[in-house]
Structure 1
Amino acid sequence: MTSDLFLTMLIWWVPILLIVGLLKAAGKVDLSPVWLLASIGIYAAYAMMVFSGIKIPGVENMFVDQRYNWSGKILAISTSIILLVALIRTSPKLTFADAGVTWKQNAGSIGPALVVTALMIGFIIGLQLLVNDGTNLNAETLIYQATIPGLDEELMFRGLLLLTLSLAVTGQTWTIKGATVHWGAIVATLFFAWGHSVFIVDGAVQADVVAMVITGLLGAALMWIRLRTGSIVMPIIAHNATNFANQFF
């Protein structure tokens, strides 16, 4: 597992580094090696917790025939919080709101965020109706999908990692329907899609192009919500609502 995780991290980050390197060479972005290395280190610590295999007493027997990695995800969420607190404490100019960790929403952003959330749910239901692979309505799945994915991945990908990548890769910005999109957001979205579809398992590469496209589209929608609202609250809701709805079709 350790060697597989190390190799997986390599195939996740090398393409990203190549992309930002080419953008730098083309004069499209400026790079901060310190923040780029911080991004890699932060995500490595997070991933090691997800795949650590550590079992939290009492967590692994909450359900009969438990199937989800509750302990790994809880440890990952805890790690993200610890890393974010450490980052804020050691970087006086940064705040929790810079990572989207705030209840405050940008003016006029809730309505558009709800519309995009509804579109995400409709998109995933449409895909499931096409695939028609059946429902998944056991209690563990419904509780897990309604809580953990959004808390875990939004805190990391659209929170902490977005913050560090936005400091690592700077340049032109674009306003898309009220959301200010920057290179850090684009890189984080590419990494989100790539990291959900390419893995090393028992020394062999496993890639799923369809998963990459779907995750990329949903990740872009979640990123837009995050940038439009200025908070990870609505992305967490949108992420969990989409995953939850997905189980019924």
Structure 2
Amino acid sequence: MEAVIFALSFAAISFLVFLAFKHFDKRVTLAFGLLFAAYLGLDDLVTGLPSASSAFSFIGGEWNWSGKIYSLLLSVVVVLGLGIKPEALGLTLSQRNLRASLIALFLFILWGLSLGLLFKPSVPSVETFAFQASMPGMVEELVYRGIAPALLLGLIRGKEPSQGIPWIVVFITAVAFGIWHGLSYSEAAFSFDPMSALFPFIGSIAGGWLRFNSGSLLFPILAHSFANVAFHLTALIGA
């Protein structure tokens, strides 16, 4: 029940964030804002299923492999069901502004190292490196830099994406991503960790720019994955 309450609450908060900023971009409509919020709430719910019940965990380990796979499967269902074109999601290897993307990738790695030195994570296992190098970057970037922006922009039923960076959409999804990391619900009470929300929010602004500046999810996925690995690598310094 806690997972359902959190998912519904997160969907409602995401919709309120959408309402607060929708007027700054006329392409963003109420119907697609509702779809955006419902999708993020459902994604949170399926991602958290293994935590809610061990019956939903089909891959063991210390990390939520099963939840990320559920999220990925949901993404496939949503993309196919709504007819979202790969180009609208950034699912292409074709790159624009490659030099800027490479510089951004390097800066993301420095960002991960800096956060690791600041927060001092525990010494990682092989599983930790494997998970951080694959799942969060691939799955979360598809959700928050691929599908969520496409829904806000109404890019369904084969609609072609426009050029340029939709900054309001980038901002809305970044706020939602930050809240998702900072908000928690347990024992009938909500709590919010501002620091856990702030850094994902900042990274999402940069990741959203990278997604639309490059025209592809490739570099946002690489940047997210490399930054996560760099964060955990710092635990080996002086270990």
Q: What range is the shorter-chain TM-score in?
A: 0.7 to 0.9
1:147 corresponds, among 126, 134, 145, to 134
CA distance in 2, matches of 1:33, 1:97: 23
Identity value in percent: 21
Q: Secondary structure at the match of 2:56?
A: coil
Partner of 1:8: 9
Q: What amino acid is the match of 2:66?
A: S
Question: TM-score, normalization: structure 1?
Answer: 0.80
Q: Which runs of 5+ in 2 are unaligned?
A: 156-162, 235-239
CA distance in 1, matches of 2:154, 2:209: 18
Question: TM-score, normalization: structure 2?
Answer: 0.83
1:134, CA displacement in angstroms? 4.7
Partner of 2:230: 245
Aligned residues: CA RMSD: 2.2
1:47 corresponds, among 37, 40, 44, to 44
Provide closer, same or farther for how the CA distance between residues 139 and 181 of structure 1 changes in structure 2, counting only shifts above 3 A: same
1:156, CA displacement in angstroms? 0.4
Q: Secondary structure at the match of 1:105?
A: coil
Structure holding more helix per residue: 2
CA distance in 1, matches of 2:137, 2:204: 12
The answer on whether the counterparts of 1:36 and 1:164 sit within 8 Å (CA) in structure 2 is yes
1:162 corresponds, among 145, 149, 152, to 149
The answer on whether the counterparts of 1:199 and 1:206 sit within 8 Å (CA) in structure 2 is yes
Partner of 2:82: 87
The answer on whether the counterparts of 1:226 and 1:234 sit within 8 Å (CA) in structure 2 is yes
Partner of 1:103: 93
Partner of 1:171: none
Matched, 1:112 2:103: no
Q: Paired residues, what number? A: 221
Measured against aligned partners, the alpha-carbon deviations of 1:49-94 in whole angstroms (never above 9, x if no partner) come to: 101225354x22xxxxx21111111011111111111111xxxxx5
Q: Which runs of 5+ in 1 are unaligned?
A: 61-65, 89-93, 169-177
The answer on whether the counterparts of 2:36 and 2:151 sit within 8 Å (CA) in structure 1 is yes
Measured against aligned partners, the alpha-carbon deviations of 1:25-59 in whole angstroms (never above 9, x if no partner) come to: xxx343422211211222222122101225354x2
Q: Secondary structure at the match of 1:199?
A: strand
Q: Secondary structure at the match of 2:123?
A: coil
Partner of 1:63: none
